[in-house]
Amino acid sequence: MSTDEPLVRVDDLEKYFWENDSILDRLLGDEPVPVRAVDGVSLEVYPGETLGLVGESGCGKSTAGETLLRLQESTGGRVEFDGEPVSELRGSDLEEFRRDAQIVFQDPFSSLDPRMTIEQIVRQPLDIHDVGTVEERRERVRELLERVGLSTDQLDRYPHEFSGGQRQRIGIARALALDPEFVVLDEPTSALDVSVQAQVLNLLDDLQDEFGLTYLLISHDLSVIRHVCDRVAVMYLGEIVEIGPVEEIFEDPSHPYTRALLESVPRAATGERDRERETLTGDVPSPRNPPSGCRFRTRCPMVIPPADLDIDQDLYRDLMTLRQRVEDRDISLETVGEDDQFEFDESEGVADADVSDFVAALQARLLDRDLPAPHDEIVADALAALAGGNWDDAERRLRAEYESICERESPDLGNGAHPVACHLYDGSIEGHDGADDYSSH
Ligand SMILES: Nc1ncnc2c1ncn2[C@@H]1O[C@H](COP(=O)(O)OP(=O)(O)OP(=O)(O)O)[C@@H](O)[C@H]1O
Protein backbone atom coordinates (compact mmCIF):
# COMPACT_ATOMS: atom_id res chain seq x y z
CA MET A 1 0.00 0.00 0.00
CA SER A 2 1.23 3.42 -0.84
CA THR A 3 1.32 6.27 1.64
CA ASP A 4 0.84 8.95 -1.04
CA GLU A 5 -2.05 11.35 -1.10
CA PRO A 6 -5.34 9.49 -1.47
CA LEU A 7 -6.53 8.84 -5.01
CA VAL A 8 -10.12 9.04 -3.79
CA ARG A 9 -11.19 11.17 -0.85
CA VAL A 10 -14.80 10.92 0.28
CA ASP A 11 -16.02 13.45 2.77
CA ASP A 12 -19.41 13.22 4.46
CA LEU A 13 -20.98 11.68 1.37
CA GLU A 14 -24.75 11.50 1.46
CA LYS A 15 -27.26 9.86 -0.85
CA TYR A 16 -30.91 10.16 0.12
CA PHE A 17 -33.65 8.71 -2.07
CA TRP A 18 -36.83 10.76 -2.07
CA GLU A 19 -38.62 9.29 -5.04
CA ASN A 20 -39.99 6.17 -3.41
CA ASP A 21 -42.61 7.76 -1.20
CA SER A 22 -45.55 5.46 -1.44
CA ILE A 23 -48.88 6.50 -2.91
CA LEU A 24 -50.42 5.78 0.47
CA ASP A 25 -48.07 8.29 2.11
CA ARG A 26 -49.10 10.90 -0.42
CA LEU A 27 -52.81 10.16 -0.04
CA LEU A 28 -52.43 10.50 3.72
CA GLY A 29 -50.61 13.77 3.17
CA ASP A 30 -47.60 12.54 5.14
CA GLU A 31 -44.35 14.43 4.77
CA PRO A 32 -42.03 12.56 2.41
CA VAL A 33 -39.36 10.70 4.34
CA PRO A 34 -36.13 9.95 2.50
CA VAL A 35 -34.33 6.62 2.43
CA ARG A 36 -30.97 7.57 3.91
CA ALA A 37 -28.99 4.98 1.97
CA VAL A 38 -25.64 6.73 2.49
CA ASP A 39 -25.59 9.11 5.42
CA GLY A 40 -22.30 10.89 5.99
CA VAL A 41 -19.65 8.48 4.74
CA SER A 42 -16.03 9.60 4.86
CA LEU A 43 -13.13 7.48 3.66
CA GLU A 44 -9.96 7.60 1.63
CA VAL A 45 -8.62 5.18 -0.93
CA TYR A 46 -4.88 5.29 -1.50
CA PRO A 47 -3.12 4.58 -4.80
CA GLY A 48 -2.51 0.90 -5.35
CA GLU A 49 -4.50 -0.35 -2.37
CA THR A 50 -7.67 -2.37 -2.11
CA LEU A 51 -10.12 -0.91 0.37
CA GLY A 52 -12.94 -3.27 1.30
CA LEU A 53 -16.43 -2.01 2.06
CA VAL A 54 -18.32 -4.58 4.06
CA GLY A 55 -21.71 -4.77 5.77
CA GLU A 56 -25.02 -6.59 5.66
CA SER A 57 -27.30 -6.40 2.67
CA GLY A 58 -29.05 -3.05 2.39
CA CYS A 59 -26.56 -1.05 4.47
CA GLY A 60 -25.73 1.20 1.50
CA LYS A 61 -22.54 -0.27 0.06
CA SER A 62 -23.58 -0.27 -3.61
CA THR A 63 -25.15 3.16 -3.34
CA ALA A 64 -21.93 4.49 -1.80
CA GLY A 65 -19.86 2.93 -4.61
CA GLU A 66 -22.09 4.25 -7.37
CA THR A 67 -22.42 7.69 -5.81
CA LEU A 68 -18.70 8.17 -5.42
CA LEU A 69 -18.30 7.24 -9.11
CA ARG A 70 -21.05 9.74 -9.91
CA LEU A 71 -23.16 7.04 -11.50
CA GLN A 72 -25.74 8.42 -9.10
CA GLU A 73 -25.73 12.06 -8.05
CA SER A 74 -25.01 12.58 -4.36
CA THR A 75 -27.38 14.59 -2.19
CA GLY A 76 -24.58 15.90 0.01
CA GLY A 77 -20.89 15.74 0.82
CA ARG A 78 -17.87 15.73 -1.42
CA VAL A 79 -15.80 13.28 -3.42
CA GLU A 80 -12.33 14.15 -4.72
CA PHE A 81 -10.60 12.07 -7.35
CA ASP A 82 -6.92 12.84 -7.76
CA GLY A 83 -7.53 16.11 -5.94
CA GLU A 84 -10.43 17.21 -8.18
CA PRO A 85 -13.99 17.58 -6.83
CA VAL A 86 -15.95 14.98 -8.81
CA SER A 87 -19.34 16.71 -8.62
CA GLU A 88 -17.89 19.81 -10.28
CA LEU A 89 -16.25 18.04 -13.22
CA ARG A 90 -17.58 19.06 -16.63
CA GLY A 91 -16.72 18.46 -20.29
CA SER A 92 -13.36 16.88 -20.96
CA ASP A 93 -12.51 16.66 -17.23
CA LEU A 94 -15.65 14.62 -16.62
CA GLU A 95 -14.84 12.43 -19.60
CA GLU A 96 -11.40 11.80 -18.22
CA PHE A 97 -12.89 10.85 -14.86
CA ARG A 98 -15.27 8.47 -16.62
CA ARG A 99 -12.26 6.78 -18.21
CA ASP A 100 -10.17 6.67 -15.04
CA ALA A 101 -12.85 5.37 -12.69
CA GLN A 102 -14.69 2.18 -13.61
CA ILE A 103 -17.02 -0.35 -12.03
CA VAL A 104 -17.45 -4.12 -12.20
CA PHE A 105 -20.94 -5.21 -11.20
CA GLN A 106 -22.01 -8.23 -9.23
CA ASP A 107 -24.18 -9.87 -11.75
CA PRO A 108 -22.44 -10.67 -15.03
CA PHE A 109 -25.79 -12.00 -16.31
CA SER A 110 -27.68 -8.74 -16.22
CA SER A 111 -24.81 -6.28 -16.66
CA LEU A 112 -23.87 -7.53 -20.15
CA ASP A 113 -26.21 -6.66 -23.03
CA PRO A 114 -27.45 -10.06 -24.35
CA ARG A 115 -27.78 -8.70 -27.91
CA MET A 116 -24.16 -7.63 -28.21
CA THR A 117 -21.24 -9.88 -29.07
CA ILE A 118 -18.32 -10.10 -26.71
CA GLU A 119 -16.25 -7.97 -29.03
CA GLN A 120 -18.91 -5.25 -29.09
CA ILE A 121 -19.31 -5.33 -25.32
CA VAL A 122 -15.62 -4.92 -24.57
CA ARG A 123 -15.17 -2.41 -27.41
CA GLN A 124 -18.11 -0.23 -26.41
CA PRO A 125 -16.21 2.02 -23.94
CA LEU A 126 -13.49 2.52 -26.60
CA ASP A 127 -16.16 3.46 -29.16
CA ILE A 128 -17.90 5.84 -26.77
CA HIS A 129 -14.65 7.58 -25.90
CA ASP A 130 -13.52 7.45 -29.50
CA VAL A 131 -10.20 5.80 -28.70
CA GLY A 132 -7.86 4.96 -31.61
CA THR A 133 -8.77 3.59 -35.03
CA VAL A 134 -11.24 0.76 -35.58
CA GLU A 135 -8.35 -1.67 -36.09
CA GLU A 136 -6.61 -0.46 -32.94
CA ARG A 137 -9.80 -0.96 -30.96
CA ARG A 138 -10.20 -4.50 -32.25
CA GLU A 139 -6.63 -5.23 -31.34
CA ARG A 140 -7.16 -3.81 -27.87
CA VAL A 141 -10.24 -6.01 -27.37
CA ARG A 142 -8.22 -9.09 -28.33
CA GLU A 143 -5.43 -8.11 -25.97
CA LEU A 144 -7.88 -7.53 -23.10
CA LEU A 145 -9.74 -10.79 -23.60
CA GLU A 146 -6.49 -12.73 -23.64
CA ARG A 147 -5.36 -10.93 -20.53
CA VAL A 148 -8.47 -11.93 -18.59
CA GLY A 149 -8.09 -15.54 -19.72
CA LEU A 150 -10.58 -15.79 -22.60
CA SER A 151 -9.87 -17.10 -26.06
CA THR A 152 -10.04 -14.62 -28.93
CA ASP A 153 -11.87 -17.27 -31.01
CA GLN A 154 -14.93 -16.31 -29.02
CA LEU A 155 -15.19 -12.68 -30.14
CA ASP A 156 -18.40 -13.21 -32.10
CA ARG A 157 -20.23 -15.07 -29.39
CA TYR A 158 -22.96 -13.72 -27.15
CA PRO A 159 -22.97 -13.54 -23.33
CA HIS A 160 -25.40 -16.45 -22.91
CA GLU A 161 -22.84 -18.75 -24.51
CA PHE A 162 -20.46 -18.24 -21.58
CA SER A 163 -20.35 -19.51 -18.02
CA GLY A 164 -20.80 -17.13 -15.05
CA GLY A 165 -17.06 -16.95 -14.42
CA GLN A 166 -16.34 -16.23 -18.09
CA ARG A 167 -18.99 -13.53 -18.16
CA GLN A 168 -17.42 -11.87 -15.16
CA ARG A 169 -14.08 -11.97 -16.98
CA ILE A 170 -15.78 -10.17 -19.88
CA GLY A 171 -17.12 -7.55 -17.43
CA ILE A 172 -13.60 -7.09 -16.08
CA ALA A 173 -12.13 -6.75 -19.59
CA ARG A 174 -14.70 -4.06 -20.38
CA ALA A 175 -13.92 -2.20 -17.15
CA LEU A 176 -10.21 -2.24 -18.04
CA ALA A 177 -10.66 -1.21 -21.69
CA LEU A 178 -9.95 2.46 -21.04
CA ASP A 179 -6.95 1.78 -18.81
CA PRO A 180 -8.52 3.12 -15.60
CA GLU A 181 -6.75 3.99 -12.37
CA PHE A 182 -9.58 3.12 -10.02
CA VAL A 183 -12.15 0.33 -10.13
CA VAL A 184 -15.13 -0.21 -7.86
CA LEU A 185 -15.70 -3.96 -7.64
CA ASP A 186 -19.29 -4.37 -6.50
CA GLU A 187 -19.66 -7.93 -5.18
CA PRO A 188 -17.61 -9.19 -8.15
CA THR A 189 -17.79 -12.85 -7.13
CA SER A 190 -21.07 -13.16 -5.22
CA ALA A 191 -23.00 -14.51 -8.20
CA LEU A 192 -20.35 -17.10 -9.03
CA ASP A 193 -19.85 -20.71 -7.99
CA VAL A 194 -17.47 -21.05 -5.09
CA SER A 195 -15.02 -22.95 -7.29
CA VAL A 196 -14.79 -20.01 -9.70
CA GLN A 197 -14.67 -17.24 -7.10
CA ALA A 198 -11.02 -17.75 -6.19
CA GLN A 199 -9.99 -17.71 -9.86
CA VAL A 200 -11.71 -14.39 -10.47
CA LEU A 201 -10.26 -12.90 -7.26
CA ASN A 202 -6.78 -14.06 -8.26
CA LEU A 203 -7.25 -12.53 -11.69
CA LEU A 204 -8.27 -9.21 -10.12
CA ASP A 205 -5.22 -9.37 -7.88
CA ASP A 206 -2.88 -10.00 -10.82
CA LEU A 207 -4.47 -7.22 -12.86
CA GLN A 208 -4.06 -4.82 -9.96
CA ASP A 209 -0.32 -5.49 -9.81
CA GLU A 210 0.13 -5.39 -13.54
CA PHE A 211 -1.80 -2.18 -14.20
CA GLY A 212 -1.26 -0.39 -10.88
CA LEU A 213 -4.98 -0.35 -10.15
CA THR A 214 -6.67 0.96 -7.03
CA TYR A 215 -9.74 -0.97 -5.90
CA LEU A 216 -12.78 -0.34 -3.75
CA LEU A 217 -14.09 -3.86 -3.18
CA ILE A 218 -17.71 -4.03 -2.03
CA SER A 219 -18.68 -7.32 -0.46
CA HIS A 220 -20.80 -8.81 2.28
CA ASP A 221 -18.49 -11.82 2.23
CA LEU A 222 -15.83 -11.44 4.89
CA SER A 223 -13.65 -14.23 3.54
CA VAL A 224 -13.43 -12.39 0.21
CA ILE A 225 -12.54 -9.17 2.02
CA ARG A 226 -9.85 -10.86 4.09
CA HIS A 227 -8.35 -12.57 1.08
CA VAL A 228 -8.09 -9.47 -1.08
CA CYS A 229 -8.11 -6.19 0.88
CA ASP A 230 -5.41 -4.08 2.49
CA ARG A 231 -7.86 -2.09 4.60
CA VAL A 232 -11.52 -2.48 5.30
CA ALA A 233 -14.37 -0.08 6.08
CA VAL A 234 -17.35 -1.55 7.93
CA MET A 235 -20.70 -0.01 7.05
CA TYR A 236 -23.97 -0.14 8.98
CA LEU A 237 -27.20 1.62 7.99
CA GLY A 238 -25.57 4.23 5.76
CA GLU A 239 -22.61 4.98 8.03
CA ILE A 240 -19.03 3.76 8.44
CA VAL A 241 -18.58 2.35 11.93
CA GLU A 242 -14.95 1.22 11.76
CA ILE A 243 -12.04 1.42 9.31
CA GLY A 244 -8.66 -0.19 9.64
CA PRO A 245 -6.00 -2.48 8.23
CA VAL A 246 -7.58 -5.78 7.30
CA GLU A 247 -5.51 -7.92 9.71
CA GLU A 248 -6.34 -5.62 12.63
CA ILE A 249 -10.02 -5.67 11.84
CA PHE A 250 -10.07 -9.46 11.64
CA GLU A 251 -7.74 -10.17 14.56
CA ASP A 252 -8.91 -7.42 16.84
CA PRO A 253 -12.27 -6.00 15.76
CA SER A 254 -13.40 -3.11 17.94
CA HIS A 255 -16.91 -2.02 17.00
CA PRO A 256 -19.58 -4.36 18.39
CA TYR A 257 -21.07 -4.53 14.88
CA THR A 258 -17.77 -5.64 13.36
CA ARG A 259 -17.41 -8.22 16.12
CA ALA A 260 -20.91 -9.51 15.50
CA LEU A 261 -20.35 -9.66 11.74
CA LEU A 262 -17.19 -11.68 12.25
CA GLU A 263 -18.84 -13.92 14.81
CA SER A 264 -21.66 -14.71 12.43
CA VAL A 265 -19.26 -16.23 9.89
CA PRO A 266 -19.21 -20.03 10.14
CA ARG A 267 -15.83 -21.17 11.39
CA ALA A 268 -13.84 -23.85 9.64
CA ALA A 269 -11.75 -24.83 12.65
CA THR A 270 -13.62 -27.39 14.75
CA GLY A 271 -12.18 -26.00 17.98
CA GLU A 272 -13.93 -22.71 17.38
CA ARG A 273 -17.17 -24.15 16.13
CA ASP A 274 -18.68 -24.69 19.56
CA ARG A 275 -17.62 -21.33 20.85
CA GLU A 276 -20.44 -19.17 22.08
CA ARG A 277 -21.36 -16.78 19.30
CA GLU A 278 -22.58 -13.26 19.49
CA THR A 279 -24.43 -13.53 16.24
CA LEU A 280 -26.40 -10.68 14.79
CA THR A 281 -29.94 -10.78 16.03
CA GLY A 282 -32.96 -8.62 15.40
CA ASP A 283 -34.01 -6.84 12.25
CA VAL A 284 -31.98 -4.17 10.53
CA PRO A 285 -33.94 -0.96 11.14
CA SER A 286 -35.31 0.93 8.17
CA PRO A 287 -32.98 3.50 6.60
CA ARG A 288 -36.05 5.76 6.39
CA ASN A 289 -36.14 5.97 10.14
CA PRO A 290 -32.77 5.02 11.58
CA PRO A 291 -32.39 4.78 15.38
CA SER A 292 -31.25 7.91 17.22
CA GLY A 293 -27.67 8.07 18.49
CA CYS A 294 -25.69 5.01 17.49
CA ARG A 295 -27.63 3.24 14.75
CA PHE A 296 -26.45 -0.17 15.87
CA ARG A 297 -27.73 0.26 19.42
CA THR A 298 -31.03 -1.52 18.77
CA ARG A 299 -29.09 -4.75 18.09
CA CYS A 300 -25.87 -4.10 19.97
CA PRO A 301 -24.82 -6.75 22.52
CA MET A 302 -22.71 -4.13 24.34
CA VAL A 303 -25.16 -1.27 24.63
CA ILE A 304 -24.10 1.00 27.48
CA PRO A 305 -26.37 1.30 30.55
CA PRO A 306 -26.67 4.49 32.62
CA ALA A 307 -23.65 4.94 34.92
CA ASP A 308 -25.68 4.49 38.11
CA LEU A 309 -27.33 1.27 36.98
CA ASP A 310 -25.69 -1.96 38.06
CA ILE A 311 -27.01 -4.40 35.51
CA ASP A 312 -25.88 -7.51 33.71
CA GLN A 313 -25.38 -6.84 29.98
CA ASP A 314 -27.69 -9.61 28.76
CA LEU A 315 -30.51 -8.36 30.94
CA TYR A 316 -29.92 -4.77 29.83
CA ARG A 317 -30.00 -5.88 26.19
CA ASP A 318 -33.33 -7.62 26.79
CA LEU A 319 -34.76 -4.58 28.53
CA MET A 320 -33.61 -2.30 25.73
CA THR A 321 -35.28 -4.58 23.20
CA LEU A 322 -38.46 -4.44 25.28
CA ARG A 323 -38.22 -0.63 25.35
CA GLN A 324 -37.79 -0.53 21.62
CA ARG A 325 -40.90 -2.61 21.12
CA VAL A 326 -42.85 -0.31 23.43
CA GLU A 327 -41.58 2.75 21.56
CA ASP A 328 -42.45 1.19 18.23
CA ARG A 329 -45.87 0.13 19.60
CA ASP A 330 -44.84 -3.28 18.39
CA ILE A 331 -46.64 -5.47 20.95
CA SER A 332 -50.03 -6.98 20.30
CA LEU A 333 -51.88 -6.29 23.57
CA GLU A 334 -55.11 -7.76 22.22
CA THR A 335 -53.63 -11.25 22.08
CA VAL A 336 -52.06 -11.50 25.55
CA GLY A 337 -52.92 -14.67 27.53
CA GLU A 338 -54.60 -17.91 26.50
CA ASP A 339 -57.61 -17.93 24.15
CA ASP A 340 -59.31 -14.57 24.78
CA GLN A 341 -58.33 -14.69 28.45
CA PHE A 342 -58.46 -10.90 28.69
CA GLU A 343 -60.80 -8.44 27.16
CA PHE A 344 -58.54 -5.63 26.03
CA ASP A 345 -59.94 -2.26 25.05
CA GLU A 346 -57.58 0.04 23.15
CA SER A 347 -58.22 3.09 25.32
CA GLU A 348 -59.26 1.50 28.62
CA GLY A 349 -57.00 -1.52 28.65
CA VAL A 350 -58.09 -4.55 30.68
CA ALA A 351 -60.40 -4.63 33.74
CA ASP A 352 -58.67 -3.63 37.02
CA ALA A 353 -59.10 -7.13 38.40
CA ASP A 354 -57.17 -8.57 35.45
CA VAL A 355 -54.17 -6.25 35.58
CA SER A 356 -51.79 -8.44 37.57
CA ASP A 357 -52.55 -11.58 35.52
CA PHE A 358 -52.23 -9.56 32.33
CA VAL A 359 -48.86 -8.19 33.43
CA ALA A 360 -47.61 -11.70 34.30
CA ALA A 361 -48.77 -13.11 30.96
CA LEU A 362 -47.27 -10.19 29.03
CA GLN A 363 -43.96 -10.45 30.87
CA ALA A 364 -43.78 -14.19 30.19
CA ARG A 365 -44.28 -13.46 26.52
CA LEU A 366 -41.86 -10.55 26.23
CA LEU A 367 -39.05 -11.54 28.61
CA ASP A 368 -38.32 -15.17 28.97
CA ARG A 369 -36.62 -14.77 32.36
CA ASP A 370 -37.15 -13.85 36.03
CA LEU A 371 -36.18 -10.29 36.76
CA PRO A 372 -34.03 -9.35 39.76
CA ALA A 373 -34.94 -6.33 41.92
CA PRO A 374 -35.36 -3.48 41.16
CA HIS A 375 -36.03 -4.39 37.52
CA ASP A 376 -38.97 -6.62 38.40
CA GLU A 377 -40.80 -3.65 39.79
CA ILE A 378 -39.85 -1.19 37.07
CA VAL A 379 -40.92 -3.58 34.33
CA ALA A 380 -44.11 -4.51 36.18
CA ASP A 381 -44.97 -0.79 36.42
CA ALA A 382 -44.40 -0.31 32.70
CA LEU A 383 -46.40 -3.39 31.77
CA ALA A 384 -49.20 -2.28 34.09
CA ALA A 385 -49.28 0.96 32.11
CA LEU A 386 -49.69 -1.16 28.97
CA ALA A 387 -52.45 -3.14 30.69
CA GLY A 388 -54.21 0.21 30.98
CA GLY A 389 -53.63 0.89 27.28
CA ASN A 390 -51.16 3.64 28.13
CA TRP A 391 -48.19 3.28 25.83
CA ASP A 392 -46.78 6.74 26.60
CA ASP A 393 -46.57 6.05 30.33
CA ALA A 394 -44.92 2.70 29.75
CA GLU A 395 -42.41 4.33 27.43
CA ARG A 396 -41.64 7.11 29.92
CA ARG A 397 -41.22 4.73 32.85
CA LEU A 398 -38.72 2.57 30.99
CA ARG A 399 -36.90 5.53 29.51
CA ALA A 400 -36.49 7.16 32.93
CA GLU A 401 -34.65 4.09 34.22
CA TYR A 402 -32.83 2.70 31.25
CA GLU A 403 -31.97 5.45 28.77
CA SER A 404 -28.52 4.85 27.26
CA ILE A 405 -25.91 7.27 25.99
CA CYS A 406 -26.02 5.11 22.85
CA GLU A 407 -29.48 6.45 22.01
CA ARG A 408 -28.82 10.04 23.06
CA GLU A 409 -25.57 10.74 21.26
CA SER A 410 -24.23 9.79 17.88
CA PRO A 411 -20.65 8.50 18.20
CA ASP A 412 -18.07 10.12 15.90
CA LEU A 413 -15.90 7.96 13.69
CA GLY A 414 -12.85 10.11 14.39
CA ASN A 415 -9.50 9.96 12.60
CA GLY A 416 -6.36 7.90 12.64
CA ALA A 417 -5.35 4.52 11.27
CA HIS A 418 -8.15 2.54 12.91
CA PRO A 419 -11.05 4.77 13.95
CA VAL A 420 -14.17 3.31 15.56
CA ALA A 421 -17.56 5.03 15.92
CA CYS A 422 -18.63 3.70 19.32
CA HIS A 423 -19.06 5.33 22.73
CA LEU A 424 -17.05 2.51 24.27
CA TYR A 425 -13.98 4.05 22.64
CA ASP A 426 -14.57 7.78 22.79
CA GLY A 427 -14.08 8.34 26.50
CA SER A 428 -17.84 8.60 27.17
CA ILE A 429 -17.65 5.81 29.73
CA GLU A 430 -15.58 6.70 32.73
CA GLY A 431 -13.05 4.05 33.69
CA HIS A 432 -13.59 2.02 30.54
CA ASP A 433 -11.64 1.92 27.34
CA GLY A 434 -13.06 -0.35 24.71
CA ALA A 435 -15.35 -3.28 24.35
CA ASP A 436 -13.12 -5.82 26.11
CA ASP A 437 -13.09 -3.73 29.25
CA TYR A 438 -16.77 -3.36 29.11
CA SER A 439 -18.24 -6.54 27.72
CA SER A 440 -19.74 -8.99 30.17
CA HIS A 441 -18.70 -11.86 27.89
N1 LIG B 1 -33.26 3.90 -6.18
C2 LIG B 1 -33.57 3.70 -4.90
N3 LIG B 1 -34.69 4.24 -4.38
C4 LIG B 1 -35.00 4.06 -3.07
N5 LIG B 1 -34.25 3.35 -2.21
C6 LIG B 1 -33.14 2.79 -2.66
C7 LIG B 1 -32.73 2.92 -4.02
N8 LIG B 1 -31.54 2.25 -4.19
C9 LIG B 1 -31.25 1.71 -2.99
N10 LIG B 1 -32.20 2.04 -2.07
C11 LIG B 1 -32.22 1.66 -0.65
O12 LIG B 1 -31.01 2.13 -0.08
C13 LIG B 1 -30.55 1.20 0.89
C14 LIG B 1 -29.13 0.80 0.54
O15 LIG B 1 -29.16 -0.01 -0.63
P16 LIG B 1 -27.81 -0.59 -1.29
O17 LIG B 1 -28.20 -1.43 -2.45
O18 LIG B 1 -26.86 0.51 -1.52
O19 LIG B 1 -27.26 -1.54 -0.13
P20 LIG B 1 -26.16 -2.66 -0.21
O21 LIG B 1 -25.44 -2.61 1.09
O22 LIG B 1 -25.35 -2.51 -1.44
O23 LIG B 1 -27.04 -3.97 -0.26
P24 LIG B 1 -26.98 -5.18 -1.29
O25 LIG B 1 -25.71 -5.91 -0.98
O26 LIG B 1 -28.21 -5.97 -0.93
O27 LIG B 1 -27.02 -4.56 -2.65
C28 LIG B 1 -31.52 0.05 0.90
O29 LIG B 1 -32.46 0.25 1.94
C30 LIG B 1 -32.20 0.16 -0.45
O31 LIG B 1 -33.51 -0.36 -0.40
**pLDDT single digits (tens) 3-16:** 579 999 999 999 99
pLDDT at 1 over 80: no
> How distant, in Å, are the alpha carbons of 10, 70, 102, 252, 278 from that of 67?
10, 5, 12, 30, 33
Measured from the Cα of 35, ligand 1's closest atom is: 5
Q: Whose CA is nearest to atom 24 of ligand 1?
A: 57
Please check the confidence at residue 251 and state whether its pLDDT lies above 50. yes
Of the candidates 73, 409, 42, 20, which has an alpha carbon nearest to the alpha carbon of residue 238?
A: 42
Residue 346: pLDDT over 90: no
Q: What is the per-residue pLDDT for 357?
A: 94
Q: Which residues contact 144 (CB under 8 A, 6 or more apart)?
A: 122, 173, 176, 177
Task: State mean pLDDT over 259-281.
Answer: 64
What separation in angstroms does the CA of 57 have from each of 171, 218, 283, 348? 23, 11, 12, 42
What's the gap in Å between 310 CA and the centre of ligand 1? 40
**Cα dist. 254→9, 148, 365, 405, 419 in Å?**
24, 38, 34, 18, 9
Alpha-carbon distance 324 to 326, whole Å?
Answer: 5
Ligand 1 neighbour 61 (Cβ under 6 A): yes
Burial of 282 (0-12, 13-18, 19+ CB in 10 A): exposed
30-56 per-position pLDDT tens digit: 777 899 999 999 999 999 999 999 999
Whether the pLDDT of residue 321 is over 80: the answer is yes
Q: Read off the amino acid at residue 322.
A: L
Q: Judge if the upstream peptide bond of residue 374 is cis by omega within 30 degrees of 0.
A: yes
Q: Is 389 exposed, middle or buried (0-12, 13-18, 19+ CB in 10 A)?
A: middle
Closest Cα to atom 7, ligand 1: which residue? 17
Residues belonging to the chain: 441
Supply the mean pLDDT for the chain. Answer: 90
For residue 56, CA distances in Å to 220, 237, 238, 245, 268 come to 6, 9, 11, 20, 21
Cβ(37) – ligand 1 distance below 6 Å: yes
How remote is the CA of residue 238 from the centroid of ligand 1, in Å?
Answer: 10
Mean pLDDT of 111-118: 90
- Is residue 382 pLDDT above 60, yes or no? yes
Q: What confidence category does residue 361 fall into, taking pLDDT thresholds of 50, 70 and 90?
A: very high
Structure pTM? 0.90
> Considering the chain, what percentage of its residues have pLDDT values greater than 90?
76
Predicted ipTM of the assembly: 0.97
Q: Which helix (H) or strand (E) element contains residue 354?
A: none
What digits encode the pLDDT tens for the residues 127-165? Answer: 999 999 999 999 999 999 999 999 989 899 999 999 999
Q: Is the CB of 60 under 6 A from ligand 1?
A: yes
Question: Ligand 1 pocket test: which of 14, 21, 39, 62 has the largest number of ligand atoms within 8 Å of its C-beta?
Answer: 62
Do residues 87 and 70 touch, judged by C-beta distance below 8 A? yes
SS3 91: helix
Calculate how far, in angstroms, residue 298's C-alpha sits from the geometric centre of ligand 1.
Answer: 20
Task: Give the residue, 137 or 430, on which the prediction is more confident.
Answer: 137
